[in-house]
């Protein structure tokens, strides 16, 4: 038998913004598809009209595009297996539901919500299954004419999967190995509802995976409990031969304490749990996103890739290409991965360093304009180059570089006390003369002359250099002094020193 081409799908339900865990699922599908020369499908699972949220689908597409997770087929991409939005596949599902009804693998049930509720009150552990189905109102207990008449009269019904009890169902999971569940604990799941002529998640998911020739189902651990039911559905359709392989990914856990990562953890600890900012159409609430918080997409990808997978050694900085070539589902962990958002910041710092000064300057320019300053891009790139190693986010640049655009109006008090001693004014006047006499403000040349002057005069190196910095910057930290003055230029530097002399004496 020739191995069929790898085909995976990312199948979100448009019930809100894509959670960061969903982004990781999409990423692992992408890495796996690319690694194996396969194809990746975007399928929108929107059969639950109650939970549909406008804008969610567009959000998902935009978020994955931003991260460089590309699809070969699907909603917004087209392809041979469409339509890829489940709400547009109603007729297809109906055919498959009828198939199960015809071969006795499913049945029609008329029990109303009130009847089911009454049954639950009567039997505390009630479950609609082999042990109870014969006590209910369905096509197994009612005469065929009555069933037919009820349907014709427009009575609402559901189609339930007829699960045979007492059988061990084996799910072969690439990450978890063999998971065995006895069918007796499963209930006769609803597969279809006449009320909206739509299948439930389980049926639509299985039919589509089959029709779209999906070979591997890679998804979050929360779907593992559904997997035995899915195996039974493949069998009921006679599709065991082409059943996809499963891989259920480990949960993302809270950074602190126990349990699943939630939006509340993000709010509490101050980090986004969504890739992009999300504006809730109903409540108007705005949730922060990685993009808007200043993360670079490649940093988010690298960070997420290592939450639940490792390359087998201690390498951490891995590009998308490297991740693709190293990715292996067998290296995914079974146990949950702690969401260490501090590590996310560290990744961003690393990737900021990899971008060119010019690129970072271009990202910074809009922020600078918000502060009512403008700057020629070449010059801004030089400024960025001086402080890039100190930042993890572009929005930290203002704090680091404001002094280039605004001369100090105050001087850090404790440094003034420590450095600006008697006679410093006179020494600063001398420094002005030295600066005027320099053939160029180029950093090395200027440094040599100025340090030479301090040494020759026997002045205190630390005090003079820090007073110089106080005058020009306003405080005593930052990049190399002569790199700063090279960019500021002679006139600006001298003016700032003069002003400091006036103010500090
Ligand atoms: N629609 C499901 C979700 O929202 C898909 C689960 C699966 O991948 O089978 O995650």
489 within some domain: yes
Rounded Cα–Cα distance for residues 324 and 447 (Å): 48
Same domain membership, residue 109 and residue 50: no
461 within some domain: yes
* Model pLDDT, residue 50: 87
83 within some domain: no
Average pLDDT estimate for 213-236 = 97
For 249, the 3-state DSSP assignment is: strand
Rounded Cα–Cα distance for residues 384 and 387 (Å): 5
Same domain membership, residue 214 and residue 180: no
Atom of ligand 1 nearest to the CA of 201: 1
pLDDT tens digits for range 82-94: 999 999 999 999 9
494 within some domain: yes
Closest-CA residue to 467 (of 418, 398, 503):
418
61 within some domain: yes
198 within some domain: no
Average pLDDT estimate for 429-457 = 97
CATH number of domain containing 148: 3.90.800.10
Average pLDDT estimate for 343-372 = 98
Average pLDDT estimate for 434-442 = 97
Q: How confident is the model at residue 1 (pLDDT cuts 50, 70, 90)?
A: very low
Q: Does residue 48 have its Cβ closer than 6 Å to ligand 1?
A: no
CB 9 within 8 A of CB 43: yes
Rounded Cα–Cα distance for residues 434 and 428 (Å): 10
Q: Does residue 219 have its Cβ closer than 6 Å to ligand 1?
A: yes
Last residue of a domain, one of 193, 215, 238: 193
Asked if the model's pLDDT at residue 111 lies above 90, the reply is yes
Same domain membership, residue 246 and residue 296: no
Q: β-strand 245-249 against 216-220: which pairing, if any? A: parallel
79 within some domain: no
- Three-state SS string over 171-214 comes to EEECCCEEEEEEHHHCCCCEEEECCCCEECHHHHHHHHHHHCCC
Rounded Cα–Cα distance for residues 491 and 486 (Å): 11
Same domain membership, residue 337 and residue 227: no
pLDDT tens digits for range 29-56: 999 999 999 999 999 999 988 889 999 9
Same domain membership, residue 380 and residue 477: yes
Residue in the structure block whose two tokens are 């049954």 = 119
CATH number of domain containing 322: 1.10.1160.10
Say what the alpha-carbon torsion angle 442, 444, 449, 450 is, to the nearest 10 degrees. 90
Alpha carbon of 219 to ligand 1 centroid (Å): 7
Last residue of a domain, one of 305, 326, 354: 354
CATH number of domain containing 387: 1.10.10.350
Same domain membership, residue 346 and residue 362: no
Same domain membership, residue 341 and residue 368: no
Q: Does residue 173 have its Cβ closer than 6 Å to ligand 1?
A: no
End-to-end CA distance of the chain: 90
> From the candidates 119, 260, 263, 418, which is the catalytic residue?
263
Domain that holds residue 279: 263-354
Q: Does residue 200 have its Cβ closer than 6 Å to ligand 1?
A: no
Closest-CA residue to 9 (of 73, 95, 94, 76):
73
Residue 263 a catalytic site member: yes
Using alpha carbons, list the distances in angstroms from residue 257 to 219, 221, 254, 272: 24, 19, 6, 18
Same domain membership, residue 390 and residue 458: yes
Alpha carbon of 481 to ligand 1 centroid (Å): 56
Which of 8, 10, 11 to mutate for ligand 1's pocket (most ligand atoms within 8 Å of CB)? 11
Alpha carbon of 222 to ligand 1 centroid (Å): 9
Q: Does residue 348 have its Cβ closer than 6 Å to ligand 1?
A: no
Atom of ligand 1 nearest to the CA of 218: 8
Asked if the model's pLDDT at residue 149 lies above 60, the reply is yes
Same domain membership, residue 105 and residue 49: no
Is 48 buried (19+), middle (13-18) or exposed (0-12) by CB count in 10 A?
middle
Same domain membership, residue 498 and residue 426: yes
CATH number of domain containing 68: 3.40.50.620
11 within some domain: yes
Average pLDDT estimate for 227-254 = 97
pLDDT tens digits for range 415-433: 999 999 989 999 999 999 9
Rounded Cα–Cα distance for residues 195 and 200 (Å): 12
In the chain, the number of structural domains is 4
Same domain membership, residue 152 and residue 70: no
* Model pLDDT, residue 3: 62
Same domain membership, residue 499 and residue 363: yes
Atom of ligand 1 nearest to the CA of 10: 8
Residue bearing the CA closest to ligand 1, atom 10: 12
* Model pLDDT, residue 46: 95
Run of H or E including 123? none
Helices 357-370, 377-387: inter-axial angle, 10-degree rounding: 100
Q: Does residue 47 have its Cβ closer than 6 Å to ligand 1?
A: no
Residue bearing the CA closest to ligand 1, atom 5: 11
Q: Does residue 7 have its Cβ closer than 6 Å to ligand 1?
A: no
Residue bearing the CA closest to ligand 1, atom 2: 12
Average pLDDT estimate for 230-259 = 95
Percent of the chain with pLDDT over 70: 99
pLDDT tens digits for range 254-304: 999 789 999 999 999 999 999 999 999 999 999 999 999 999 999 999 999
Alpha carbon of 12 to ligand 1 centroid (Å): 5
Q: Does residue 483 have its Cβ closer than 6 Å to ligand 1?
A: no
């Amino acid at each position: 038998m020739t191995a069929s081409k790898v085909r995976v799908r990312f199948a979100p339900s448009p019930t809100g913004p894509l959670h960061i865990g969903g982004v990781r699922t999409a990423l692992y599908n992408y890495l796996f598809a690319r690694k194996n020369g396969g194809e990746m499908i975007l399928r929108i699972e929107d059969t639950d009209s109650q939970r549909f949220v406008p804008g969610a689908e567009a959000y998902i597409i935009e978020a994955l595009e931003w991260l460089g997770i590309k699809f070969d087929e699907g909603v917004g991409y087209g392809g041979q297996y469409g339509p890829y939005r489940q709400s547009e596949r109603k007729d297809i599902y109906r055919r498959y539901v009828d198939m199960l009804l015809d071969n006795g693998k499913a049945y029609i049930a008329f029990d109303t919500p009130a009847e089911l509720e009454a049954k639950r009150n009567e039997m505390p552990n009630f479950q609609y299954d082999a042990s109870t189905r014969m006590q209910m109102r369905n096509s197994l207990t009612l005469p065929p004419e009555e069933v037919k008449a009820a349907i014709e009269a427009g009575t609402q019904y559901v189609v339930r999967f007829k699960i045979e009890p007492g059988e061990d169902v084996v799910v072969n999971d690439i990450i978890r190995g063999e998971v065995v569940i006895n069918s007796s604990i499963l209930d006769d799941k609803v597969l279809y509802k006449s009320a909206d002529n739509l299948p439930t998640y389980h049926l639509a998911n299985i039919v589509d995976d089959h029709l779209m020739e999906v070979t591997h189902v890679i998804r979050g651990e929360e779907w593992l409990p559904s997997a035995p039911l899915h195996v039974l559905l493949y069998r009921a359709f006679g599709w065991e031969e082409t059943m996809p392989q499963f891989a259920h990914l480990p949960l993302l856990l809270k950074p602190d304490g126990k349990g699943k990562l939630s939006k509340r953890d993000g709010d509490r600890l101050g980090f986004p749990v969504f890739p992009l900012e999300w504006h809730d159409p109903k409540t108007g609430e705005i949730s922060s996103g990685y993009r808007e918080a200043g993360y670079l997409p490649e940093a988010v990808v690298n960070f997420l890739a290592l939450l639940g997978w490792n390359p087998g050694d201690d390498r951490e900085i891995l590009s998308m290409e490297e991740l693709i070539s190293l990715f292996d589902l067998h290296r995914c962990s079974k146990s949950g991965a702690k969401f260490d958002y501090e590590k996310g910041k560290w990744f961003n710092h690393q990737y900021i360093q990899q971008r060119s000064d010019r690129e970072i300057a271009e990202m910074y320019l809009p922020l600078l304009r918000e502060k009512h300053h403008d700057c020629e891009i070449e010059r801004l790139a030089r400024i960025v180059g001086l402080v890039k190693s100190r930042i993890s986010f572009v929005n930290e640049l203002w704090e680091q570089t404001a002094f280039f655009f605004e001369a100090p109006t105050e001087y850090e008090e404790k440094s003034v006390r420590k450095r600006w001693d008697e006679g410093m004014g006179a020494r600063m006047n001398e420094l002005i003369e030295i600066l005027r006499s320099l053939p160029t403000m180029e950093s090395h040349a200027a440094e040599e002359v100025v340090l030479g002057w301090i040494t020759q005069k026997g002045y205190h190196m630390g005090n003079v250099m820090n007073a110089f910095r106080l005058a020009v910057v306003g405080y005593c930290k930052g990049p190399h002094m002569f790199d700063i003055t090279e960019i500021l230029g002679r006139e600006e530097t001298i003016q700032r020193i003069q002003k400091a002399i006036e103010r500090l004496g």
